[in-house]
Amino acid sequence: MTNAASDALVFFGATGDLAYKQIFPALQGLVRDEGFNLPIVGVAKAGWNLEQLKARAKDSLEKHGGIDQAAFEKLLNLLCYVDGDYNDANTFTQLRQQLGKAQRPLHYLAIPPSLFGTVAANLAKGGCAANARVVVEKPFGRDLASAQELSRILHEFFPEENIFRIDHYLGKEPVQNILYTRFANPNFEPLFNRDHVRSIQITMAEGFGVEDRGKFYDEVGAMRDVVQNHMLQVLASLTMDPPTGEDHDAVRDRKAELLKAVRPLAPDTVVRGQYEGYRSVPGVKPGSSVETFVAVRLYVDSWRWAGVPIYIRAGKMLPVTCTEATVEFKRPPQETFGEHVPLNSAHMRIRISPDVAIAVGVRVKIPGERRVGRDVELEMHRQAADDMPPYERLLGDAMRGNSELFSRQDLVEAQWRIVDPILGNVTPFYSYLPGTWGPEEAGQLIGNDGPWADPVVEKATKC
């Protein structure tokens, strides 16, 4: 397939929750911001008609970002709908008819992974797969073996370069800003290595619980939900080598090299937790041992990072909602002024949400005759996180064939390889009270490399 842009967009699961919360707002944004003017076909089995789908789109936009009247009206004019079973060949015959003259459609599978193979096969049989691109949602598999099997199924009908595995975290402006800040500033990049860095911490805290996602979450857990994908992508952005070249694979090549060098997790490098009250959430199995909190210690077996511990923790019902990374720098080999200085005195903090901030911790002298200091933080950049929504950016990139912000097969497999040894109930889980920073065993995991750098925000805000 050439790099020609897609000439239609099809989204399966058009009546589902993801379409309601993310896809309709993204489509309105593409129409408003990029002049999107191509057929948009929703596909689902709901017994609906086109007018009902349009009403759903209106309700979605009213509750998620607001309606831009001109863009919304244009979106409705572009919108088509096919109602049918994904196992029924007639559904895909109707889809081909709705696509009209379009020959390079983008198919977005906002459906369970168990249906990927069925839909891909029927797209091919219905004449909808030739020269097409396909976007698939996470989770891409439940472990390494299932991820490899999903890729094998998709490769029967689509070449790798036409498969776009979405991780919406990669579409966030603050996540992209990590790479830019590292490689655009000569005063930062020379310090990002084992000679200068003592440890790295990444925290994804959510001040809310599972809420109405009990059934889904109880099949996934924190490790599969956010660590295997989002957090490992942040780790890769913080630690990868500079990309060479300007093609779409330059960054992904470096991320793949980094993730393949990460040592797989072992039971003694993992602490799992579950907040009290989780088992009473509707949809959660009685006696569930699924984790709502996880903390891990990782190592990158490369020359740049050999011996530097990297700590990741993610959890629900924590004191705040915030995602940030902290790079702890080593202290000088000898304190010039004979002070007892905390090990975490020198650091760089990169906040991803709810706001955006880049800060550097430094030590300054306290006024007076004595040569003693105190720790301060210089915040160099701060803004509200009101950038282009991730799904708008990612769908636009997929339509153009720009794959940089999507996961490649080797990247996905490298991420699963890291977490595969400890999936399931390999390690015990510990209870923790809502509103705390997880079980105390997480503090024991970080040990002398701590303490954990607890994010501080004025108010818990959903990311």
Identify whether 230 is a catalytic site residue. Answer: yes
Mean pLDDT in residue range 1-11: 84
Under 8 Å between Cβ of 278 and 403: no
CATH match for 170-389+408-449 among 3.30.1330.60, 3.20.20.100, 3.30.360.10, 3.40.50.12280: 3.30.360.10
Residue 211, pLDDT > 90, answer no
**Could you report the per-residue pLDDT of 294-344, keeping only the tens digit for each?**
999 999 999 999 999 999 999 999 999 999 999 999 988 877 777 777 777
CA 74, CA 134: separation in Å to the nearest integer?
Answer: 24
Q: What is the pLDDT of residues 215-254, one digit of tens each?
A: 889 989 999 999 999 999 999 999 999 998 777 789 999 9
Which helix (H) or strand (E) segment holds residue 155: the answer is helix 144-155
Mean pLDDT of the chain: 91
Round to whole Å and give the CA distance between 448 and 451: 7
pLDDT digits (tens, 9 = 90+) for 343-401: 777 899 999 988 888 999 888 778 877 877 787 888 877 665 457 889 999 999 999 99
CATH 3.40.50.720 in the chain: give the residue spans.
8-137
Helix pair 69-78, 24-34: axis angle to 10 deg: 110
**CATH ID of 8-137, from 3.40.50.720, 1.10.1040.10, 1.10.1300.10, 1.10.390.10:** 3.40.50.720
Helix axes 249-260, 232-239, angle to 10 degrees: 100
Query: What are the start and end residues of each CATH 3.30.360.10 domain in the chain?
Result: 170-389+408-449
Q: How far apart are CA 95 and CA 51, in angstroms?
A: 17
φ/ψ region of 394 (left if φ > 0, alpha if ψ in -120 to 50, else beta) reads alpha
Residues 6+ apart with CB under 8 A from 433: 275, 276
Q: pLDDT tens digit string along 439-454?
A: 999 999 999 998 999 9
Active-site annotation holder among 107, 230, 347, 381: 230
Extended strands (E) in 140-276: 163-165, 197-205, 270-275
